Amino acid sequence: MTKRTFLQLLQKKETGRLSAREKALLHQVLDQLQRRELSWDLDREEEAEIQQRIKGKIDRRIQRSRKQAYFSGPVRMVASIALLIGLGFLVFRMLQAPTEVVWEKRSTNERQKATITLPDGSMAYLNTNTTLWFPRQFESGKRLVKLDGEAFFEVVANEAAVFEVRSHGVRTQVLGTRFNVKAHRESAVIVAVDHGSVAVCQQGREEETRVKLHPNQMATVYPEHEEIVVAPVDKQNFLAWKAQSVSFDLVTFDEIIPRLAAIYNYSIDVEGEGMDRCQIKATYRNGNLYAVLHGLKNLADFDIKKTGERKLTLYFKGCNH
């Protein structure tokens, strides 16, 4: 049942025009409200409307009870008024009681990426090694998500509800735009704008630092500093992780590795000689780092060793062509 239908049933109840089915439905909703299984936000007009109805009904009940007091006694009159006031208080309390926010969690590992549709229709594209928390339903006037890792957001415009990403002490706020947030633990938080504008705020300071970003700008927030550094962004490279494929056009092996490290949020060390003489021309599906590296092994001879969380060392031996 919608909030408007509920209010209409309350109005019909005042006039005594409820059918048996409508009475049963109304009692069912009142039970749900009492158990806090429903919660509706009321605007000022609706609040005033219910207040007027309850006040009017109490006044009419008082008048009727006074006339009946001679026959049924004052105790019944007081009990009837108390019951009506209690019902009115229950309706107000339950309609305006906040519902508990239920959070959803989506994570990707080092070999996964993901596309998430948020409750308002906004889209979140998760890079590898990323976790996103978001409510099952956004609260009224508020769209809050939490991020650890990297994600690109396409936010549905809604001037009545700011969209906010919280990531390691940094708040990114928008009304509707496209932007990227890179926020791994113990690393700088980087926010880059593709379209529209965003506000980036650094929390936990005596005075919160805040900057506004426009398209082709990025903000870097260092955990230990009290300033936000704004600079131009090369979207083609910075957002390469979101592309469908990774291409190299006669790029040397030692130039490829830093690019792959940036795309997949990895720290990659390379040992060996002759990398600058090994040129690569190839295109790979942008799925995960290991798939690309194993594809590269057809063109170059190297070994791979995992040395930590999101850390690799490559031992280059030579070209295969």
Span of 125-139, 147-161, 196-210, 218-232 with lowest mean pLDDT: 196-210
Q: Indicate if the pLDDT at residue 245 is higher than 50.
A: yes
| Spatial separation of the C-alpha atoms in residues 175 and 268, rounded to whole Å | 37
3: Cβ contacts below 8 Å, ≥ 6 apart: 40, 42, 46, 95
Task: Please count the other Cβ atoms lying within 10 Å of the Cβ belonging to residue 153.
Answer: 24
Distance separating alpha carbons of residues 36 and 290, to the nearest angstrom: 49
Q: Work out the mean pLDDT of the chain and round it to a whole number.
A: 79
How confident is the model over 5-46, as pLDDT tens digits? 777 777 777 677 777 777 777 766 666 555 555 555 555 565
- The structural domains of the chain, with segments of one domain joined by +, span 3-96, 103-237, 243-319
- pLDDT score for 318: 86
CATH among 3.20.20.150, 3.30.110.30, 3.40.50.150, 2.60.120.1440 for 103-237: 2.60.120.1440
What's residue 164's pLDDT?
95
CA triplet 21, 22, 24: central angle to 5 degrees? Answer: 65
Closest CA to 41 of 118, 141, 121: 141
Pick the CATH number of 243-319 from 3.30.450.20, 3.40.50.2300, 3.55.50.30, 3.40.50.300: 3.55.50.30
pLDDT over threshold 70, residue 311: yes
